[in-house]
Amino acid sequence: MVNSFYQFIGLFFLVGVSLWANPQPRVSVPLQSTASQVVMLQAPPPQAPPKALTRSQVFFLSSERVVSPQMKIDSTLVREMLDRLICAVTRQPDTKRGWQSLLKVGKEGDRVGIKVATEPGVSGGTHPQLVQALVAQLVEAGVERNHIFIADRRRQDLEKAGFIKHPGWQLRWMEYGNGYDPQKVFTHPLVGQLVYGDFAFKEKPGSFQESLLRQEQYSNESHYASFVTQQVDKIINVPSLCDSWYAGVNGALINMSLGVVDNWRRFVRAPYFASPYASDIFQSEPIHSKVIMNIMDGLMLQYAGGPQSNPSHVVPYGMLLASRDPVALDATALTLINRQRQLVNLPRIQGLADHIQAAEAAGLGNVKTVQTIRVRLP
């Protein structure tokens, strides 16, 4: 069944998505769309009703100039790309009205969380330049700056990815920081071993005699991050285009499921590899009702070694992708990562990304009806 699923995905994207071939092993393969799907960004009238396929559309935009061969990112061009992308996804003529169609703004408006993915590091993770452009959009749309929070699991990952250097950003981290909500848990019979940083983990004993008697700690509960349950009203999910040794794709589904609970390691060991637990957590409350947008940072693509940092397997890619459908977005990301792996003679990711198919079965989004739409820069 898994093989047939990936054969179907490969056939679908072969028809609907063409990729540039290049004989150089470290050259990335940008996503293209068929002629019928390539559109110049001209927003329809705001009163036009959304199409039935809206939540299964993946919008993408790429530029060869936004990332240099030395991995330097053009912040000005990132902002321009993001502006065009948000207008396309929201079907609004400007980003101000785009975000206002999804958020309540002003002093009594929504508190907005931006969930990033920084474990892949400064190259393979979510880039501060993209988040800086996103924050600027939100402020211009009327979101109070002190209502914007940027979060990930560990402070050291945020620091290594360059987020600590930005004054005025309100950063939140879960382990050893703002922590997990003691009242909000995801319970499942599957038991996991707790480690330092998990909410219910008890500190190591203070004496040698006590350490000899110490028992391993186990739990069938995962606590949600208080960032999600208490501190924000809406969430913008901003993963990066990165592979994962335990889930195939460290994408939108993983970022907003295993990325916001503790005791998550129990869900990724064989034979599960995050399926179906990623979709179970993503569609639970308070996550599902709060996520309003999924934006994937494809400025660089990490095709092996993820979700940890592995700069030797990162290529400049120059792409941003966005969708209201996290399943469609991850299915697209899987195709892009596999194409890049083929260029460097690595095997395709198969069997590890079953959580995407499980999420479709759970009704979180679509794989079979994904439509990729290219947005062009002026």
CB atoms inside a 10 Å sphere around CB 2: 12
Q: What is the pLDDT of residue 167?
A: 85
Residue 259 located in a structural domain? yes
Q: Are 140 and 95 in contact (CB under 8 A)?
A: yes
Residue 256 located in a structural domain? yes
Number of domains forming the structure of the chain: 1
Residue 280 located in a structural domain? yes
Q: What is the pLDDT of residue 56?
A: 85
Q: How far is CA 207 from CA 51, 203, 211, 213, 214, in A?
A: 65, 12, 6, 10, 10
Q: Are 291 and 335 in contact (CB under 8 A)?
A: no
Q: Supply the pTM of this predicted model.
A: 0.85
Those residues with Cβ within 8 angstroms of residue 213's Cβ, 6 or more apart along the chain or in another chain? 205
Residue 26 located in a structural domain? no
Containing domain of residue 77, as a range?
A: 37-42+52-375
Rounded distance between C-alpha atoms, residue 168 and residue 183, angstroms? 30
List residues bridging with 288 in a β-sheet: none
Q: What is the pLDDT of residue 25?
A: 40
Q: Are 270 and 259 in contact (CB under 8 A)?
A: no
List residues bridging with 222 in a β-sheet: 186
- CA gyration radius for the chain? 20
Residue 7 located in a structural domain? no
Q: What is the pLDDT of residue 176?
A: 78
CB atoms inside a 10 Å sphere around CB 104: 15
Q: Are 365 and 55 in contact (CB under 8 A)?
A: yes
Q: What are 83's two structure tokens?
A: 């502006």
Rounded distance between C-alpha atoms, residue 339 and residue 273, angstroms? 22
Q: How far is CA 178 from CA 151, 161, 181, 182, 183, in A?
A: 10, 19, 9, 12, 14
Those residues with Cβ within 8 angstroms of residue 177's Cβ, 6 or more apart along the chain or in another chain? 155
Rounded distance between C-alpha atoms, residue 367 and residue 358, angstroms? 10
> What are the tens digits of pLDDT across the range 80-107?
999 999 999 999 999 999 999 999 999 9
Element (H, E) at 321: strand 314-323
Task: State which residues of the chain have pLDDT below 70.
Answer: 1-55, 177-178, 204-214
Element (H, E) at 61: strand 57-62
Q: What is the pLDDT of residue 204?
A: 62
| 143 DSSP assignment | B
Residue 223 located in a structural domain? yes
Strand, coil or helix: 224 = strand
Residue 5 located in a structural domain? no
Q: Are 341 and 304 in contact (CB under 8 A)?
A: yes
Residue 263 located in a structural domain? yes
